[in-house]
Amino acid sequence: MQVEALYQDIILDHYKNPHGKGLREPFDAEVYHVNPTCGDEVTLRVRIAGDGDDARVEDVSYDSMGCSISQAAASVMHDLVLGKGVKDAMHLHDEFLALMQSKGQMEPDEDVLEDGIAFAGVSKYPARIKCALLAWMAWKDATLQALETEQATEEESR
Ligand code: ZN
């Protein structure tokens, strides 16, 4: 099987059977992001456990609408960051972002990005890059908000 076809299959599979979809409680922050060029939408919640270096992604839940790439990317992102330390998850965000900005020139590392490698081809199509990044941007935004809230609460209790 050609690698492009294999990647297509991975994306289609996540699109048809999205992992972790649906909004859950409890959560620390919720964001709503839109990709106006394609019409993709995502509402995303994160629950962070622990703080400082021990902060961990306890849950990431989302509700989304849009094209197959945006939907599949949300599912893959969920699998990648769930249960990870926030620092490690941010690193994955940066890796995926680098892949999307690579214009098809970067050989993705499957050990790091797992099913995320299926989006390598998307980086050749500028119009679709935002689709693949939508859920990741929403996750980063929500996570930073959750960490800020946590810090504020801590300072209050001091
Ligand atoms: Zn899209």
pTM for this entry: 0.94
For each successive 10 residues of the chain (158 residues), what is the average pLDDT? Answer: 83 98 98 97 97 94 97 98 97 98 93 96 93 98 92 74
How far is 69 from 12, CA to CA, in rounded Å? Answer: 8
Provide the 10 A C-beta neighbour count for residue 113: 18
For the record, the structure tokens of 133 come out as: 């990044």
CATH code at position 49: 3.90.1010.10
* CB-CB contact of 72 with 50 (8 Å): no
DSSP 118: G
Report how far ligand 1's centroid is from the alpha carbon of 40 (Å).
5
Q: State the greatest distance between any 2 C-alpha atoms of the chain, in Å, as a whole number.
A: 60
Report how far ligand 1's centroid is from the alpha carbon of 106 (Å).
22
Residue at 19 is within a domain: yes
Length of the chain: 158
Report how far ligand 1's centroid is from the alpha carbon of 130 (Å).
7
Domain that residue 93 falls in: 3-150
Residue at 158 is within a domain: no
**Domain count across the chain:** 1
Report how far ligand 1's centroid is from the alpha carbon of 4 (Å).
19
Please report the pLDDT score of residue 1 as a whole number: 52
Average pLDDT, whole number, for the chain? Answer: 94
Residue at 47 is within a domain: yes
Residue at 50 is within a domain: yes
